[in-house]
Chain A
Amino acid sequence: MTVGDTLIAPQASVNPAISIRNVTQRFAPAGGADGVLALDNVSLDIAPGEFVCLLGPSGCGKSTLLNIVGGLFKPSSGEVTVAGRRVDGAPHPDEIAFVFQESTLFPWYTIIENFRIALKFQGAPKSERDDRAMEALQAVGMAGFARHYPSQLSIGMRQRVNLARGICVRTNILLMVEPFAALDEQSRMVLGEDLSILLAKTGKTIVFVTHSLAEAVFLSDRIVVMTARPGRIKTIVNVNEPHPRAPDFMLEPRFGEMRNDLFALLRDEIRQAMALQRDPLKVRA
């Protein structure tokens, strides 16, 4: 598989889990000028059970896109449908769970209380909450820490728990914003492997934002490469490797090739993004 197999048009899926249609996002600035165009006419279909990664330079709008899909932002135009329901700036906690970049476990609650709260917010029946929480904790190997406060755990352990909190609400869709960014490289590889195994079992649809090329190749079925601001889909790369993936996959020559191809695709965009940082008003036509 090389870059030649890329698909630019949205994949025509019969019943997509997530359907993004012509989404544009413009952030109004304080002055009243035109504002910043963060996303420009993005369309994408994601099939049920698919693991899709959004990859791009900083500020390309990939996190914005994820927030729009999750209903945290309302797009300036375009629409997103999840399981046939239109997402319009309102979260659908029964369908979609978020795992955020920062460990967003509430520091004032113990781990188990954090899970109970998430399940309570979602509307899960009270009798089920503890069982579901423990089940998710067991899945990430953290059942022994249910009564700890987040501050008593290491960053890696917190991130595991954070992931489990996203799983315990049993949504079909999981949105992850750089969940491993705070970890060192070894930990993120181990956690990535665990994630691959875990998710192969649950069959969830996952959309994932990352900066790490290796992580993107190792975890995704499809990698959506985005341009520097305004964010557009530059290309989509398929990774044909069944889940769960073993660490051996990283040793295969095609793994390295794909990573290099991705870097070649991204390099110009990263330079463009850096230029934008130096001169934020310069927007490519």
Chain B
Amino acid sequence: MSVMDTSEGVFMGMPRARAVALTRWAIVATAALALELYGRFFADPAFMQPVSAILRAWIDPVLSDARIIRALMDAVVEIAVAYALSIICGATIGIAIGVSNFARKSFLPIVLLLYAIPQVTLMPLFILIFGLGAAGKIAFGFSHGVFPVIVNVVAGMRNMNPLYLRAVQSMGGTRFDTLRHVIFPNMVPAFFVGLRLSMTLTLLGVILAELYVSTGGIGYFTRLFAENFNPAPLFALIGSLATIAILFNSLVRVAERRLTPGARAPGKLNLSGAKSR
């Protein structure tokens, strides 16, 4: 059985970890090459263009058009603001709910109910209320990002070994000491699980709203390029946004690695958010 394979050592004459990384890059390179060849020789240029053409379009017009740069910068600011708001509000609400059993049992079901709503249906409403500018996009990103923070903060405060609490009490610690030295450090890994998921969802919310508003910003340019059957700059614009998304995600990961006390946090992605086993 392959899963019982215990050979961790050497793979094709190199350390296994290097072989894994190398294969990963080989897949990326092969995919890029395949796209290039497909785009160059087989594809309808109205729908698909080779990677080289996309790279050219990335330099011009995407990176040389001040309006596109502006739109990308706006998106970055919106993501950052929405994410910051999600963390601040999410952590505050999460701590308020998680601090006592009574509060948790009373309010967590309400939060979970709101979390279960497909927020995308509210998108037109958000834009209607907050307008076509940055405010609507930030609000919509925030509505996506805040819930995973709340839920994971509450979970992190709950998954607490009662022995630690008793230890602090026995050493004469106050209630504040308990929060400061036991509950918060213990919460950090779950908090970062929430932050990672929150980043993914904030990105989703802001970009959804950006695409929805087609009168300006990124939504305008994607529509412009798509309607003119000009796929190279469209791909380049999307690629730029993907890069921004990757950078934001990496930022969260670096912060997690730096700021988690003691052991590294479990690297597993909490897909459901609500359910941390």
Contact = CB atoms under 8 A, between A and B. Distances in A.
B172 interface: no
A28 B16 CA distance: 13
Interface stretch (B7-15, B131-139, B144-152, B225-233): B7-15
A29 B6 CA distance: 11
A72 to B, nearest CB: 9
Kindly state the interface size class of chain B when it binds its partner.
under 10
A251 interface: no
Contacts of B7: 28
A21 to B, nearest CB: 24
Contacts of B16: 30
A32 interface: yes
A30 B16 CA distance: 8
Contacts of A28: 7, 9
Interface residues of A, number: 5
Contacts of A29: 9
Interface of B: 7-10, 15-16
Nearest to A35: B9
Interface in A12-35: 28-32
A207 B16 CA distance: 37
B68 to A, nearest CB: 48
Contacts of B9: 28-30, 32
Given A29-B9, A30-B8, A32-B15, 7 more contacts: A28-B7, A30-B9, A30-B15, A30-B16, A31-B15, A32-B9, A32-B10
11 contacts: A28-B7, A28-B9, A29-B9, A30-B8, A30-B9, A30-B15, A30-B16, A31-B15, A32-B9, A32-B10, A32-B15
Contacts of B15: 30-32
A32 B10 CA distance: 7
Interface in A22-79: 28-32
A30 to B, nearest CB: 5
Nearest to B10: A32
Contacts of B8: 30
Contacts of B10: 32
A32 B13 CA distance: 10
A31 B15 CA distance: 7
A157 to B, nearest CB: 25
Nearest to B15: A30
Nearest to B4: A72
A250 to B, nearest CB: 34
Contacts of A30: 8-9, 15-16
B185 to A, nearest CB: 28
A14 B15 CA distance: 48
A30 B6 CA distance: 11
A218 to B, nearest CB: 34
A30 B18 CA distance: 12
